Amino acid sequence: MIKKFFSTSLTLVIPIYLSSCSPPKTTVSISSGSPGSGYQRISSQIKSSADTVEQIQVTDTYQSQGSQENLQRLLDKEVDFSIVQLDVASAAMKQGKVNTLLVLTQEYLHLVTQANSDIKTLADLQGKRVMVGAEGSGIYFTAKRIFAASNITVIEVKSNEDRLKKLINNEVDAFVYVGPLATSDKFKQELKQSSQLRFIPVDSSLINYLTIQFPESYQEAIIPQGTYKPLPELPKENLPTISTPGALITRPDVNKKKVSLLTWAIISNFRQYAPFYPELASQEDAKLLSEGLIYIHPGAQQVFNSGDPRVAWQRYLRENKPLQAGLIMLITTSSIGFLLRWWRKRKQNNLLKANRQTINELRKLLDTNPKKATEEIEDLRQKYRLMLIDGQVSPEVYEQIEKMTQIFSDQCQRWQDQQKELSYNQILQLIDEWSQQLPESLIVKHGQLQYSHHQYKEMLKTGQLDLQSYLQMIQLTLVWTNLLSVQESKKDKNNLSN
């Protein structure tokens, strides 16, 4: 709230007379995709959106293989902006080479084979011929990651050309496509050409692995039944898969004005992007376009905080009392910067303090219930991981918190191991003592074994003994109980015979 307040007030230092100027249009370049692709359609919509702002003009050659080529063009400074899958851009973002502006679509993994194929699961692709997309495409990047994560080796066909024809002619066994649902004209036309196609579902274990290992890149998704064909249905049922955001990205050194103008052009026309991001159709505002983004360019962040970059100062004067406007106009840039740094530092310090306090409270559980302490600390780690993804905590502070929680998590694990080892050794020692005294007081020892059985149950309930160790101890108890019973029986028979 404070950050938004002061960010808005910064615009007031701009002289009012600038509003009467009519600056020339700012031209920006985008790299998207080839004609007929989903990216090409998105780029065309961006051009239309820019026309409504008047101060910005967009150019695009529509000659790209996809995400990887778009990213490289951006890094080589051939263009100002690129449309890229976030799994492709993730490494460059973490290195500070690129920033995000907006999420424009969700791109779904499609694995396509023939309906009569014996390929039913992802694992069935082992050793098969699979078209994995052109080397410069996001399809190729995602396909490589999927097969590597699954330990599946396929015969790669690095192309997108004539993939349906090659599939029908049995030149390949399957092909991979990554893109928005029902957006690519080329992909939709391919699917309409044959009624003998089937989608391969993605295993839940692989979905879980990817969403945990790459939370900034992947999320669990469903391709709804009949998305591409109603009759015959394609897919035949809701299909589990993964999706990765398709975002507009830029370099940190790209002019802030260019970034803010283009960001506002898209936000002010956000419903026009519903064909690529269907959830936007039911939204009242454009917040979905920035949901979950990290490494945001300052120019885009300014728009998220203050709205239209051209008239921010006018809107502020219109919506605030004269006294408030006058006071804020007296605040110097250095004062605002100091307050912002102080506010950020205080917020992050409070997070660190809260994390330390929570860990100290969990330490009290170690003696009585180490298993519960472990579960609680893992829930805490997941909470801060989600806060990092949502931009509520900086990467630097998150790293400090992660170190603290990891240290305590390791302590919990060592404590559980020690408790289990101690309990196990005590029980074995007790059984050894019983075995040495077997001939005497059999009834008493039988009672001791029953008592130890009760102890095992209590230890299992409190987390001091895991299920496997508990079952092993019960098995040993039963063996000794049977042995004692046999000894008692023999003794009774000897007494009767005498």
325-371 pLDDT per residue, tens: 555 665 555 566 666 667 777 777 777 777 777 777 777 776 677 77
Does the structure show a pLDDT above 50 at 18?
A: no
Alpha carbons within 13 A on the beta-carbon side of 4 = 7
Q: pLDDT category, 131, cuts 50, 70, 90?
A: very high
Determine the pLDDT at residue 120: 94
Work out the mean pLDDT of the chain and round it to a whole number: 79
Task: Output the six-digit token pair for 138.
Answer: 């996001």
Give the tokens for residue 449.
Answer: 């074994």
Mean pLDDT for the stretch of residues 226-253: 91
* The two structure tokens encoding residue 111: 């694995």
For residue 40, count other CB atoms closer than 10 A to its CB.
20
pLDDT at residue 14 greater than cutoff 50:
no
Measured CA to CA in angstroms, residue 336 lies from 8, 239, 307, 308, 361 at distances of 11, 51, 20, 21, 38
Q: Report the relative pairing of strands 155-157 and 129-131 from DSSP bridges.
A: parallel
pLDDT of residue 261: 93
Q: What is the DSSP string of 190-223?
A: HHHT-S-EEEPPPPHHHHHHHHHH-TTT-EEEEE
Closest by CA position to 3, among listed 305, 318, 246: 305
At residue 326, the pLDDT reads 59
Within 10 angstroms of residue 86's Cβ, the number of other Cβ atoms is 25
More confident residue, 306 or 416: 306
Q: How would DSSP label each residue in 411-422?
A: HHHHHHHHHHHH
CB atoms within 10 A of CB 132: 25
In the prediction, which pLDDT does 425 show? Answer: 59
Structural tokens at position 6? 């002061």
**Which H or E element spans position 129?**
strand 129-131
Residue 481 carries which side chain, given as an amino acid letter?
T
- C-alpha closest to that of 43 among 194, 202, 344, 248: 248
Whether this model's pTM surpasses 0.75: no
User: Residue 395: what pLDDT?
Assistant: 81
Pick the more confident residue, 317 or 381.
381
- For residue 299, is pLDDT > 80? yes
Mean of pLDDT values over 437-449: 49
Q: Mean pLDDT over residues 410-439, rounded?
A: 61
Q: How confident is the model at residue 2 (pLDDT cuts 50, 70, 90)?
A: very low
**What pLDDT was estimated at residue 410?**
77
Range 488-498 average pLDDT: 65
Residue 161 CB partners (closer than 8 Å, separation 6+):
none
Q: Which residues contact 284 (CB under 8 A, 6 or more apart)?
A: none
Please compute, for residue 36, the number of CA atoms within 13 A of its CA located in the half-sphere on the CB side: 6
| 124, pLDDT greater than 90 | yes
Measure the CA–CA gap between 235 and 237, rounded to whole angstroms: 5
Q: For the residues 208-237, what does the mean pLDDT come to? A: 90
Residue 160 DSSP one-character state? -
In this predicted structure, what is the pLDDT of residue 129? 96
Residue 134 burial (10 A CB sphere; 0-12, 13-18, 19+): middle
State yes or no: pLDDT of 96 exceeds 80: yes
Q: Is the pLDDT of residue 317 over 80?
A: no
What average pLDDT score do residues 150-154 get? 94
Higher model confidence: residue 330 or residue 201?
A: 201
User: How high is the pLDDT of residue 98?
Assistant: 96
